[in-house]
Homo-oligomer: A and B are copies of this chain.
Amino acid sequence: MIMPAPFYPGPSKEYENGKPMDRQEFIDALVELGNQRYHSLHPFHKLLHNGKLSFPQVQAWALNRFYYQWSIPRKDLTLMARINDVKLRLEWRSRVIDHEGDIDGSGGIARYLQLCEKLNLDLEYVKSCKGLLPATRFAVDAYVNFVENKSLLEGIASSLTEIYAPAIHQERIAGLSKHYEWADDYALAYFKKRINQARKDVDFGREWVINNAKTRSDQEAVLNAVKFKTEVLWAQLDALYHSYVEPGNIPPGCFIPTDYKLKNVKK
């Protein structure tokens, strides 16, 4: 799409002549962004990880999150299609393989569907994405659009929320295992496997970004790209909270769990 300059990150006049941050300052700024904005702080995750969500609420989470999960390789392929450096493309390829696996369906998406299966969701319905909250689709599509339209540096930088991911995956595995009966190894296989994958991806992505963000403007564009990505994640939880927790107004046409108490829903 035609992205109007003022609304998305890009080199900003403000920093045009600014002194670049050194390596440690830059890393500190990235970490601080996570401390302020990563979706581990979101009330919906607090409820989820502390066993405060009902089974139908967890179903709604898993069903919506599927679209994010499923779109990650689309995002990575969109990015790869814009990379001219073959070595960098090859490096990035492992992310797609991690998610999609081989033709036998052994990748992260298949493992994620194990969670949906344990949650008694109809997998064909999940994969059809018919019950998605529109806000989920808008946020996730915005991410794919971002890597298609922004600079390569910003596109790669937007994946750096992975820096914060291993901690939330560990918190999630511990919390779900403790509080929910269905949360066995089979259900949580995606998150368990993902911890080490994310670590490997982060090491590469972070170093690449640090080495390629030479100016202060570049560095600010990187921080803005990560900020954008935290918004993509946060907005998904806002929508889940609104629709399935409080006030619980499910938008027309979206997933209605069985026996769910309806408020503003026309059947």
Contact = CB atoms under 8 A, between A and B. Distances in A.
A7 interface: yes
A241 B247 contact: yes
A7 to B, nearest CB: 6
A235 interface: yes
Query: Mostly helix, strand, loop or mixed at chain A's interface?
Result: helix
A67 to B, nearest CB: 8
Nearest to A144: B1
A142 B140 CA distance: 10
A24 interface: no
Contacts of A251: 231, 234-235, 238
B135 A238 contact: yes
A72 B74 CA distance: 28
Interface in A130-153: 133-135, 137-139, 141-142, 144-145, 148
Interface in A88-133: 128-129, 133
B74 A2 contact: yes
A74 B4 contact: yes
B235 A1 contact: no
Interface in A246-261: 246-247, 249, 251-253
Which interface class (under 10, 10 to 19, 20 to 34, 35 or more) fits A?
A: 35 or more
A139 to B, nearest CB: 5
B231 A238 contact: no
B2 A135 contact: no
A13 interface: no
A235 B145 CA distance: 19
Interface in A23-44: 36-37, 41, 43
B135 A264 contact: no
A6 interface: yes
A249 B238 contact: yes
Contact of A78 (B1, B78, B139, B241): B1
Contact of A1 (B129, B133, B141): B141
12 contacts: A1-B1, A2-B74, A2-B78, A36-B252, A133-B235, A135-B138, A135-B238, A135-B239, A138-B141, A234-B251, A238-B243, A241-B249
Q: Which 7 A-B pairs have the closest CB atoms?
A: A134-B231, A242-B242, A138-B138, A138-B142, A135-B235, A1-B145, A37-B252
Interface of A: 1-2, 4, 6-7, 36-37, 41, 43, 74, 78, 128-129, 133-135, 137-139, 141-142, 144-145, 148, 227, 230-232, 234-235, 238-239, 241-243, 246-247, 249, 251-253, 264, 266
